[in-house]
Every structure is written in structure tokens, then in C-alpha cells.
Amino acid sequence: MTSILILNGPNLNLLGTRQPEVYGATTLADIEKMCTAWADAANCTVTFLQSNHEGALVDAIHAARGVQDGIILNAGAYTHTSIALMDALASVELPAIELHLSNVHARETFRHKSYIAKVAVGLICGFGPRGYTLALDAMKSYVED
């Protein structure tokens, strides 16, 4: 059975509780439920984590090696700054999908740069919470092809 890690970075724990005009009203717990339901129907296993700490995200990526078949990463603002997350993804040799709720390319120019994209098999952004299940579908197809 395909096992997929969904990793969420800084501030995403606040989803649905602050700035709903920017990030919507859906909470991260709602998104986790959507992912779990999708995985049950698709006969997949999903592990869903969030951390505000770069090192904890690096640790979670390392721990995925040999356990997970792929990583879906919404690294939040670390997307645009973190060579450590890029190196961690490269080191575990697992397929990774970069994910964002918002269309980062339609936003400020500092959000156009991504260190994650350099080591990802693909990118999904701009579809809000639905992007999570789109990414699961993409990862399952990628791994099982």
C-alpha cells in the first residue's frame, strides 16, 4: 500500500482561525480529515504533520526515508528561504511535491523563488485546500506508475 507523508510548515496551524480573507476558513484539521478520507477511499496510508520549526521539518523528512513512498510538502515561508529543507529532500531520495494553498506566482515577488521546487517532481499551487487531495492523487500516480 502506498504511504505518503504530508508535511506542513510554519503558521499553517493558524489556517481558518486568522486572515480568512487570504487563506480561507478551512482549518488544517479539516484538511487532514479530507486527506484521510481521500486516502481511505484510494487504499493509501497518509501521515499528516505540521511544525513551525525548520529543524523539526528536516527531522520529519529524514524519518520518512524507507518508511514513506513520497512526500507532499507545504513548507510555508520556508519554501522561499530554506536550503536545509531542500538538502533534506535531496538526501532522502523520495519523490516530493511542492504544495501551496495560494498561487504564489500571483503574489509578491519574494514568493516566486522556491528552494523546494529544485528537488521536487512537481508543484501544485492556487487551488486552496483542494490542492492537498490533488497532490495526493498526483503522488499516488507518480509512485505507482
Distance CA 129, CA 131 (A): 5
Q: Please, which residue, 111 or 130, has the CB nearer to ligand CA2?
A: 111
CB nearer ligand CA2, residue 67 or residue 77: 77
- Among residues 133, 136, 126, the alpha carbon closest in space to that of 100 is found at 126
23 is an active site residue: yes
CB of 44 to ligand CA2, least distance (A): 22
Q: Which residues contact 124 (CB under 8 A, 6 or more apart)?
A: 97, 98, 99, 100, 131, 134, 135, 138
Among 141, 139, 45, 37, residue whose Cα is nearest residue 98: 139
Residue among 53, 78, 80, 100 flagged as catalytic: 100
Q: Decide whether 33 or 65 has the Cβ nearer to ligand CA2.
A: 33
By CB under 6 A, the residues from 17 to 76 that bind ligand CA2 are 18-19, 23, 74, 76
CB of 131 to ligand CA2, least distance (A): 8
The residues in 80-139 that bind ligand CA2, with binding defined as CB under 6 A, are 100-102, 104, 111
Q: Which is nearer to ligand CA2, 100 or 140 (CB)?
A: 100
Tell me the C-alpha to C-alpha distance, in Å, between residue 54 and each of 9, 78, 128: 8, 8, 23
Give the CA count within 13 Å in the CB-facing half-sphere of 125: 20
Q: Which residues in this chain contact ligand CA2 in the complex, by CB under 6 A?
A: 11-12, 14-15, 18-19, 23, 74, 76-77, 79, 100-102, 104, 111
Which active-site residues does the annotation give? 23, 100
